[in-house]
Structure 1
Amino acid sequence: MSSTQMDYRLNDDLLGPVLAILDAYIDPYLATGLVSAGCVTKLALDGKRLQLGLVYPYPCMSQYRDTVMALTNKLAVLDAIDEVECEIDFQPKVYSAIASIAPIANVKQVIAVASGKGGVGKSTTAVNLALALAAEGAQVGILDADIYGPSVPLMLGIPNFRPVSPDGKHMTAASAHGIAAQSIGFMLSGDEAAVWR
């Protein structure tokens, strides 16, 4: 169950049927009904317009239209409802793998893409994953930690970006396709080699 606040302003005669319809709608990724998953955060009636608020635990912007249409059709069988006004948002859960390590400020999730072998598609996978999450509405940053062959700048189409450091401690991130990006590749030009001790 989600920890999101629920605001139900329907009379008891209507609340039960609405919740039953919403819980009968099985989310394909949560594999449960919207009420059971804790996604339904708001129910109110303005005349015959149902105001419905949904909060998903994963980014799902591409599903918004189909979800609203399906729910509108299902809820329209109730005499008290002529239309549905739906607001959808997402709040991913924050997981901590190691309780003793403090979380990174303003970062809710970290996905690591790694391999001990070169040339297996780590950067390609990371960039495509970042683009897919951004397309679904997530705020995404990508850190290219490959210090020997950084390819994220090229893959994002920003190989000539040069970061600046306004305070001498932090570098500005590049922005491309809705993604914030940081890479050692931004500090090298052409075929320059990075020599690390």
Structure 2
Amino acid sequence: MVGVDQVLTKLATVIDPDLKKDIVSMGMIKDLELNDGNLKFTLELTTPACPFNDQIEQDVRKAVGEIEGIRNFDLNVTAKVMEGRSLAADEAMSTVKNIIGVASGKGGVGKSTVSLNLALALAQSGAKVGLLDADIYGPSIPLMLGMQKAFMEVDNNKLQPADSHGIKVVSFGFFAEQEHQAAIYRGPIISGILKQFLVDTNWSDLDYLIVDLPPGTGDIPLTLAQTIPITGILVVTTPQDVASNVAVKAIGMFNKLNVPIIGVIENMSYFVCPKCSDKHYVFGEGGAKRISEKYNIPFIGEIPLNSGIMQGSDKGKPVIITDPNSPSAEAIRAAAKNVAAQCSILAAKLKEEMQGDAAA
């Protein structure tokens, strides 16, 4: 008669393509029951946005199907996002599993658009997501979400984020009339505002907090990197050398600060002709891929140029919500899965390091 050890041995042949480890050693098999050939367990994946979730489930079903003596099989598939940062070292934000800074070397590459749509895509996958608009000088997220009249309340000395499309949103734009008022502050004050947004906000339980950073390598990116443990940085660029050469400077800064680079994503990669479906590389080709290969960092994806993205941003209607079947929305969802996968990889490395330290 088949036994539990035999089942676990067979399941250990199923490898997570991202983590390069078997699902048994990773603790993905939960609540296993085996009675007279009737097998039941839960497969707990590392994130609902993993690009290989379907493949892992199929591999599990195939492995179980090859075990002699299994009469019935009941599989429950869930996901629990791994902690990609040391929560023990960050009491102020101990309920946020992953903090992802979205950076760029220069302005005009669509970084806020990428941040917003990635946050929405992760939320659509089933994850709990927050979005912090950390561009104090030019907060644009409220406009892009159609939340110009929204505001944040204070309860028990904690800011309460606004809600939009299933994500929690914090922005300096909620405190100023964006059309008329400019944020005229020096670096220390800006850093103080960011710290308050991070630690004095009731983020509740989040799987991912996306932080939309201002362009460049100034006070705010430094403050984020030095104030709290973060999972890593996603760098946004466009294809042309002018943008990619400056994006490298942002990568260099975070490398010096020992902050992991989640990867590089290319915005405005190409234009798809609506009549002939041909791709036109308006701004050149392959800037992000060249960065990825040269500096050995993950390539997250390419987002095509689309007038719908611009129009949606201006009207407060993100393309992933208003046109979910467009090439741009599909590219964003694919990029979001890759971001989630890289967070899981970093989380697995962190777990190994913490176990090694404990053993030592």
- Per the shorter chain, which TM-score range? 0.7 to 0.9
Aligned equivalents of 2:35, 2:54: Cα separation in 1: 22
Aligned equivalents of 1:160, 1:102: Cα separation in 2: 32
User: Is residue 176 of structure 1 aligned with residue 142 of structure 2?
Assistant: no
2:176 counterpart residue number: 188
Output the amino acid matched with 1:123.
S
- Per the alignment, do residues 63 and 50 of structure 1 end up closer, same or farther by CA in structure 2, a change over 3 Å counting? farther
2:99 counterpart residue number: 110
Aligned equivalents of 1:103, 1:170: Cα separation in 2: 11
Give secondary structure in 2 for the equivalent of 1:142: strand
Q: What is the number of equivalent residue pairs in this alignment?
A: 184
**63-72 or 14-23: which moved more?**
63-72
1:154 counterpart residue number: 143
CA offsets, 1:82-135, max 9 Å, x none?
222324231412423995x64513222211112353222221222133223223
CA offsets, 1:53-86, max 9 Å, x none?
2333334477655544442343133322322232
Output the amino acid matched with 1:159.
Q
Output the amino acid matched with 1:189.
E
Q: CA deviation at 1:47?
A: 5.6
Q: Select the structure that is richer in helix.
A: 2
Aligned equivalents of 1:89, 1:120: Cα separation in 2: 33
Output the amino acid matched with 1:105.
S
- Per the alignment, do residues 23 and 49 of structure 1 end up closer, same or farther by CA in structure 2, a change over 3 Å counting? same
- Structure 1 residue ranges without an equivalent (≥5): 1-10
- What is the RMSD of the two structures over their aligned residues, measured on CA atoms? 3.0
Aligned equivalents of 2:88, 2:180: Cα separation in 1: 37
Aligned equivalents of 1:156, 1:140: Cα separation in 2: 15
Aligned equivalents of 2:92, 2:160: Cα separation in 1: 21
* More contact order relative to length (CA 8 Å, sep ≥ 6): 2
2:17 counterpart residue number: 28
- Per the alignment, do residues 112 and 97 of structure 1 end up closer, same or farther by CA in structure 2, a change over 3 Å counting? farther
State how 1:51-62 maps to structure 2 within 5 Å: 51-60=40-49
- Per the alignment, do residues 108 and 97 of structure 1 end up closer, same or farther by CA in structure 2, a change over 3 Å counting? closer
Aligned equivalents of 2:5, 2:88: Cα separation in 1: 41
- Per the alignment, do residues 196 and 171 of structure 1 end up closer, same or farther by CA in structure 2, a change over 3 Å counting? farther
Aligned equivalents of 2:40, 2:147: Cα separation in 1: 43
Q: What is the TM-score when the length of structure 2 is the normalising length?
A: 0.44
Give secondary structure in 2 for the equivalent of 1:113: strand
Q: CA deviation at 1:46?
A: 5.1
Aligned equivalents of 2:170, 2:14: Cα separation in 1: 40
Aligned equivalents of 1:98, 1:120: Cα separation in 2: 35
Give secondary structure in 1 for the equivalent of 2:60: helix
Q: CA deviation at 1:157?
A: 3.6
Q: What is the TM-score when the length of structure 1 is the normalising length?
A: 0.75
- Per the alignment, do residues 51 and 110 of structure 1 end up closer, same or farther by CA in structure 2, a change over 3 Å counting? same
CA offsets, 1:124-152, max 9 Å, x none?
22213322322332211111011121111
Q: CA deviation at 1:17?
A: 2.9
1:82 counterpart residue number: 72
